[in-house]
Amino acid sequence: MLEFFGRLFGRDEGSKKAAKDRLRLVLVHDRASLSPQLLESLKEDLIETISKYMEIDTEGLEVNLDQEEDTMALVASIPIRRVRRGVAAKANS
Amino acid sequence: MAGKAIVVTSGKGGVGKTTTVANLGTGLALMGRRVCMVDADIGLRNLDVVMGLENRIVYDLVDVVEGHCKLRNALIKDKRVENLFLLPAAQTREKDAITPQQMKEICEVLKEEFDYVLIDSPAGIEHGFRNAIAGADEALVVTTPEVSAVRDADRIIGMLEAHELGAPKLIINRIRPDMVRRGDMMDIEDVIEILAITLIGVVPDDQDVIVATNKGEPVVFDRRTRSGQAYHNIVRRLEGEDVPLMQLDNDGLVERLRRLFNRDARRRKAQ
Contact B190 A20 (CB under 8 A): yes
SS (H, E, C) B54-113: HHHCCCCHHHHHCCCCCHHHHCEECCCCCCEEEECCCCCCCHHHCCHHHHHHHHHHHHHH
State residue B162's pLDDT score: 85
Q: What are the φ and ψ backbone dihedral angles of B187, each rounded to 5 degrees?
A: -85, 170
- The tens digit of pLDDT for each residue in B229-260 reads 999 999 999 999 999 998 877 655 665 666 56
Contact A17 B185 (CB under 8 A): no
Q: Which of residues 231-250 of B touch A (CB under 8 A)?
A: none
Q: Does B195 score more than 60 pLDDT?
A: yes
| Calpha distance B157→B199 (Å, rounded) | 13
Which of A35-39, B83-87, B96-100 is predicted least confidently?
Answer: A35-39
Give the gap in angstroms from C-alpha B226 to the nearest C-alpha of chain A. 23
So where are chain A's domains? 1-33, 34-93
Torsion of CA B170, B175, B179, B185, to 10 degrees: -30
Contact B185 A12 (CB under 8 A): no
State residue B260's pLDDT score: 61
Q: Does A10 score more than 70 pLDDT?
A: no
Q: Does A7 score more than 60 pLDDT?
A: no
State residue B2's pLDDT score: 86
**Intra-chain end-to-end CA distance of chain B, in Å:** 61
Structural domains of chain B, with CATH: 4-270 (3.40.50.300)
Which of A64-78, B105-119, B202-216, B225-239 is predicted least confidently?
Answer: A64-78
Complex ipTM over 0.90: no
Measured between beta carbons, which residues in chain A are less than 8 angstroms from residue B180?
16
Contact B258 A19 (CB under 8 A): no
| Calpha distance B106→A72 (Å, rounded) | 43
Query: Which residues of chain A are at the B interface, by a Cβ-Cβ cutoff of 8 Å?
Result: 7-10, 12-17, 19-20, 22-24, 26-27, 30-31
Q: At what angle do helices B127-134 and B100-113 cross, to 10 degrees?
A: 30
State residue B94's pLDDT score: 83
